[in-house]
Structure 1
Amino acid sequence: MREVARGRRRSPRRVAALLGVTAMGATTLAACGTDDGLTINVYYAPEDNFQAVVDDCTEQADGRYEIVYNKLPRGADGQREQMVRRLAAGDTAMDVLGLDVTWVPEFAEAGWIEEWTGGHKATASRDVLPGPLETATWDGKLYAAPKNTNVRLLWYDERITPEPPRTWDEMIAMSRELRERGEPHEILFTGAQYEGLVVAYNSLTESAGGRILSPDGEDVVVDGGAVRALEILREVSGSGLTDPSLTNQQEDEVRMAFQQGRGAFQLNWPYVHASYAAEKPDELEHFKWAPYPGVAEPGTGRSTLGGYNLAVSATSQHKPEAFEAALCLRSAEHQKFSALNDGVPPTIASVYDDPTPLDPSRPADPEDNPTMVDKYPMKDTIRDELTDAAVRPATPAYQTLSIVMAEVLSPPSGIEPAETAQQLRDQLAEALSSKGVIP
């Protein structure tokens, strides 16, 4: 590994120089550190340009330690499995952990991650949007620093629907009318039996003003809003208004179906804009977005949050340095860098308003030196959604509950709202009390 020269500290504007850096391959084992032998191991999901951020934070450490990026599996289940096994075994080589937003309660309750207090807590919380900050909190305490977030938007082609629907009822009515005219009409969303279907159901439930669990995560609710969400899922998927391959569709299948002209609407994450720009640049001007649709009335839509938080392992032997490294990795400058290069929405509010290009020392250029407006034209809609986004049910047992919900909800066309709601109540209650067997 390269030595980090002492006495040098990279200024914020030099982060832009990372654009030209070819990132070193991430290791899967603890690697060499500084001359003093101090290494901070970060375990985080694959992110194309994250190694450049890691290198910049190592340089900012000024020789006191080296940060090593240990790349986790691409799938969320594989990421969680690897970390849980190592943490349960008391692995002391783990310092900073990249946690999916649903894992904080589980890891905190198990005693695997440290609470953020004092100055670290103040810095990790400063200017963070409310929804992302809530995902890093458990039992009234902060256990992680929000790194990046995500919300689903409603995407549409203005040539097919010049004005987007504001509610699910409007969208269903527009879909039926388009079908009668022989035009692309499908409402595309993640309907496969996995977490994406749970996200779709939770977003609908929250948009209908409902709840799946109580706020403290201890009791199953599945109230009237949750039943209304089941009714919508059944109506959309059981009446020819969505893709015939719905039960096989995850995020990228939804994206591709829309780009191939099979849909009028898709509910998906912001990354689809960059994909559309790369694959259909001549039609990008017609690819538009709108807030997640409401249920009862316009303006009540609530998309479920995604994203990652950075936590410090309770078994780390270098906790002061681990907290410092985590704060650097998710600083405003690095969140902006990751947003512009990897398409992950920031958690820090001020980043959305930053008018400067990636490298402030050079003129802005949409391709070579972009601003947030260039790469994130939907940034204001994203930020608005983040101020009142839906959070997945907060409970240490979320992983089990998610598997149960995906199984009960699949296929969406087979939902019988009243019966399915009772199934959810019964099976989720069993899962919460550890009586149920994971399907």
Structure 2
Amino acid sequence: MSSPGSSRPRRARTVAAAATLALLAPTACGSGEESGSPTINLYYPPEQSMQEVVDACNAQAQGRYRIAYRVLPRQADDQRVQMVRRLAAEDTGMDVLGVDVTWTQEFASADWIREWTGEDAQEAQRGTLAGPLETARYQGKLYAAPKHTNVQLLWYRTDLVPQPPKTWDEMIAQAQQLKGQGKPYRVITMGAQYEGLVVLWNTMVASAGGQILNTEGTKVVLDDGAVKALEQLKQLATSGVTSPSFANATEDPARLEFQSGNGAFQLNWPFVYPALQEADPELAAKVKWARYPGVDENTPSRATIGGSNLAVSAFSRHPAESFEAAKCLRNAENQKISAVKGGTPPTLESVYADPEMDEAYPMKETILAELKDAATRPLTPAYQNISTVISAELSPPSAIEPDRTAKDLRRSIADALESKGVLP
């Protein structure tokens, strides 16, 4: 992993990386020059509708280039490892990259991706929601175009809870009351030692008005709001309303537990909605959604966004065509296809008003409201290191001692910013 001060990839690494590249590079990545038009290799995570979007963009290109969809591994860590290794080797076989919103600054600081400038930058920014757009910038410059975004919602049982709680304290109290009545009561969400736990705490920090790093992403802040978030996370974990598996739960197990009828509340991404409809339509009819709970009664929550940005590799032999392809892949029509058929919320605000979104995203107004006031994770080239130490310090949440944990986090995050004491 590159440090915050990295510049161009070091040539000394390329010999060792080339051996890895020979093993990683797909055999079908021909450049297409033989046929007179280049092949633009798109490296992007698995997405149900992506091939349809690629086909539409290839038709629009009218033979000037052809996009080939190279599907990345399903797990984010595996995606990053593959791209980092190949970019460090200055692989010219990668053109357009689907970059997680937490990786843009790392890739930009290493000079692995190109800056978006001129009309390309204007088009990438036009109509794009502010939160996702913030994740695509590094040191005031645009290095990617937001392709899709995501936020978690509060999912609740209307047969158990007539009105959704607005705060964590209110939700915990309602769950405890349901527990006393012998009814399903659990608050189900992700508490395992991984990125999901970082997202949970980051949302609490932002909702409490706190900061983890300074605005520039160069120094640890971890202020009173961040400590208050530690207190809130500790309270949740020790209140007797979480699942026994809370400290080991990730997204899909959390979904399955709520789907089994054990929970009154679930904090999770929108993918749980179609899954519940398919698995248990009777239960689905009793489940509604609301804005993520806040920390303070009079302050709305600020949910952490996820998603993917489109970047153009610094080593692509076809940058002009790659920028054009990236713009097509994330235009309004194709974002709508990805949303309706692929389940990925758009980054272009105008798409939410499209009538075709109504059935696929009945919760679209709640999603959009959260996105307009969203939180980002710390924007720094060292994010991968920071995420690793945060999840370790917070796990298990029941063992948090707010003041001590805050002190440990300040030290660990400061070291992570300098790439000290963290495995790459």
Calculate the TM-score normalised by the size of structure 2. 0.92
Q: Specify the code of the residue in structure 2 equivalent to 1:52.
A: E
1:324-363 aligned within 5 A = 324-355=324-355
- Asked if 1:414 is matched to 2:399, the reply is yes
- Alpha-carbon distance between aligned partners in 1 of 2:390 and 2:28, rounded to the nearest angstrom: 35
- Distance in 1 (alpha carbons) for counterparts of 2:130 and 2:398: 35
One-letter amino acid of the structure 1 residue matched with residue 282 of structure 2: D
Deviations 1:184-216 (A, max 9, x none): 111111101100000001001100111111111
Mapped partners of 1:438, 1:403: distance in 2: 9
Paired letter, 1:405:
I
- What percentage of aligned pairs have identical amino acids? 57
Per the alignment, in what secondary structure is the counterpart of residue 309 of structure 1? strand
Match of residue 363 from structure 1? none
C-alpha displacement of 1:50: 0.6
Partner residue, 1:252:
252
Query: Which residue of structure 1 aligns with residue 378 of structure 2?
Result: 393
Aligned pairs (5 A) from 1:294-305: 294-305=294-305
Distance 1:408 1:438 in 2: 15
Q: Extract unaligned runs of 5+ from structure 2.
A: 1-25
1:272-294 deviations in whole A, cap 9, x for unaligned?
11111111123322210000111
**1:424 counterpart = 2:409:** yes
Partner amino acid for 1:173? Answer: A
**TM-aligned CA deviation for residue 434 of structure 1:** 2.3
The equivalences for 1:102-141 within 5 A come to 102-141=102-141
Contact 1:98 1:309 (C-alpha < 8 Å) held by counterparts: yes
Number of equivalent positions:
398
User: What is the CA–CA distance in structure 2 between the aligned matches of 1:31 and 1:183, rounded to whole Å?
Assistant: 60
Matches within 5 A, 1:174-323: 174-323=174-323
Contact 1:404–1:438 at 8 Å: present in 2 too?
A: no
Matched, 1:96 2:81: no
Match of 1:39 in 2: 39
Corresponding residue for residue 373 of structure 1: 358
Give, as a single letter, the amino acid of the residue that structure 1 aligns with 2:289: W
Match of 1:7 in 2: none
Structure 1 position 33, deviation (Å): 3.2
Partner SS, residue 124 of structure 1 = helix
1:54/1:69 contact within 8 Å kept: yes
Aligned partner of residue 171 in structure 1, secondary structure? helix
**One-letter code aligned to 1:373:** D
Distance 2:74 2:367 in 1: 24
The reply to whether residue 437 of structure 1 matches residue 402 of structure 2 is no
Q: Do residues 170 (structure 1) and 170 (structure 2) align?
A: yes
CA offsets, 1:110-168, max 9 Å, x none? 00011111110111111111111111111111110100000011000100101000011
Asked whether the 8 Å contact 2:255–2:268 carries over to 1, the reply is yes
- CA 1:412/1:29 → structure 2, altered by over 3 Å: closer, same or farther? farther
The CA RMSD measured in Å over matched residues stands at 1.3
Letter in 2 for 1:386: L
Q: Does the 8 Å contact 2:385/2:419 carry over to 1?
A: no
Contact 2:38 2:64 in 1 (8 A): yes
1:47 counterpart SS class: coil
Cα pair 1:346 1:352 within 8 Å, conserved? yes
Determine if contact 2:294/2:301 at 8 Å carries over to the other structure: yes
Contact preservation (8 Å) 2:232, 2:295: no
On the 8 A contact 1:154/1:290 being kept in 2, the answer is: yes
2: CA distance, partners of 1:284 / 1:237: 27
- 2:243 aligned counterpart, secondary structure: coil
Cα displacement (A) at 1:31: 4.2
Contact kept? 1:31, 1:68, Cα under 8 Å: no
Q: Give distance in 2, aligned partners of 1:274 and 1:299.
A: 30
- Counterparts of 1:249 and 1:29, CA distance in 2: 38
Task: Provide structure 1 residue ranges, at least 5 long, that are not aligned to the other structure.
Answer: 1-26, 356-370
Distance 2:204 2:231 in 1: 10
Distance 1:235 1:122, change over 3 A: same
Q: Distance in 1 between matches of 2:55 and 2:296?
A: 48
Shift of 1:239: 2.7
8 Å contact kept, 1:113–1:143: yes
Distance in 2, matches of 1:253 and 1:213, equals: 31
| Secondary structure at the counterpart of residue 323 of structure 1 | helix
Shift of 1:68: 0.4
Contact 1:167-1:298 at 8 Å conserved across structures: no
2:145 counterpart letter in structure 1: A
Deviations 1:73-102 (A, max 9, x none): 111001001000100111011110000000
